[in-house]
């Protein structure tokens, strides 16, 4: 049972990482947000984020979040996929943070609910409830806007837009390399895990398992260093001078937004 849980957890994490990195298929669709130029889109979403952070009315946040959902639908994004990406971690975590604000000890005000727990009396106030909902909705709406921008904009265009707005070149270069190789290393780890399981099965002493994992970590570190040198030498041989350049090839595809495999960053 324990091994099965660990296996499902690891494979779930690897699958989520690869799915997150390879989500540019949505940017290739012919949706509403996909037709907006990247620089204009970044400016619009930046203004929306500032507005969301500044709003102190829950009803207005509901409107903003509804707009996010509608934009996702009109941009060809699966609603289930969008909700999973926007609610799985950060908004739920913010909900747990906001729970103490519900009670009169932290937020005095008009009584909403009163209950007894372990001999103690707890009071939830209207003001605390409204503040907690405001906080959670603000976080959820902000995350939704960022996810929408990421899903409907090709990473090459987004990185190029960051340079236009004055983001340091070293930051953009590091971000682009991390984006492309997270998927690669997640796939390597997944294959290594499946390879180990296919050779030793499920019955394995924990010390032997520790040795195998330590060897795999060392091997992955060595491979990453070797890959680093090979990639950098390949970049230099293609004329890299410090500023990343985006090359786009149509490859006969009619889609307005090419897929990840059709782009190369030098």
Which residues lie below 8 Å from residue 9, measured CB to CB, with a gap of 6+? none
- Confidence (pLDDT) at 261: 41
- Confidence (pLDDT) at 200: 67
Per-residue pLDDT reduced to its tens digit, 68-88: 999 999 988 888 888 888 887
- Confidence (pLDDT) at 263: 41
In the predicted model, what is the mean pLDDT of residues 204-213?
A: 67
- Confidence (pLDDT) at 1: 41
Q: In this model, does residue 102 exceed pLDDT 80?
A: yes
HSE of 134 in the Cβ direction (CA atoms, 13 Å)?
Answer: 16
- Tell me the longest C-alpha to C-alpha distance in the chain: 73
Assign 3-class secondary structure to 179-194: HHHHHHHHHHHHHHHH
- Confidence (pLDDT) at 52: 92
- Confidence (pLDDT) at 241: 72
HSE of 196 in the Cβ direction (CA atoms, 13 Å)?
Answer: 18
Q: Domain coordinates of the chain in residue numbers?
A: 1-22+168-266, 29-153
- Confidence (pLDDT) at 181: 75
Least confident of 10-19, 117-126, 222-231: 10-19
Please give the model's pTM, rounded to 2 decimal places: 0.64
- Of the pLDDT bands very low, low, confident and very high (cuts 50, 70, 90), residue 247 is low
Question: What 3-state class would DSSP assign to 114?
Answer: strand
Question: What 3-state class would DSSP assign to 143?
Answer: helix
Least confident of 127-136, 168-177, 204-213: 204-213
Q: How far is CA 124 from CA 2, 91, 98, 100, 223, in A?
A: 40, 21, 12, 10, 55
């Amino acid at each position: 049972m324990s091994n099965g849980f660990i296996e499902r957890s690891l494979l779930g994490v690897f699958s989520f990482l690869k799915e997150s990195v390879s989500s540019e298929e949505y940017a290739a669709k012919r949706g509403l947000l996909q037709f907006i130029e990247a620089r204009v889109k970044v400016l619009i979403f930046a203004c929306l984020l500032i507005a969301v952070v500044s709003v102190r009315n829950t009803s207005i946040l509901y409107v903003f979040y509804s707009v996010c959902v509608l934009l996702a639908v009109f941009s060809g994004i699966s609603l289930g996929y969008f909700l999973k990406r926007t609610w799985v971690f950060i908004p739920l975590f913010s909900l747990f943070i906001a729970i103490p604000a519900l009670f009169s000890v932290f937020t005095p005000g008009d009584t909403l609910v009163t209950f007894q727990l372990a001999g103690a009396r707890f009071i939830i106030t209207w003001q605390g409830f409204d503040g907690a909902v405001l906080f959670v909705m603000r976080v959820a709406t902000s995350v939704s806007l960022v996810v929408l921008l990421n899903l409907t904009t090709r990473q090459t265009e987004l990185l190029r837009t960051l340079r236009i707005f004055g983001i340091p070149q070293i930051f953009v270069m590091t971000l682009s390399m991390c984006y492309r190789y997270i998927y690669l290393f997640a796939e390597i780890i997944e294959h290594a895990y499946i390879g180990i399981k296919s050779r030793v099965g499920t019955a394995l002493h924990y010390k032997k398992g520790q040795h195998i994992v330590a060897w795999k970590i060392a091997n992955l570190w060595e491979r990453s260093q070797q890959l680093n040198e090979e990639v950098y030498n390949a970049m230099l041989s293609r004329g890299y001078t410090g500023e990343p350049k985006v090359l786009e090839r149509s490859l006969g595809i009619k889609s307005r937004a090419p897929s990840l495999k059709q782009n190369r960053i030098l």
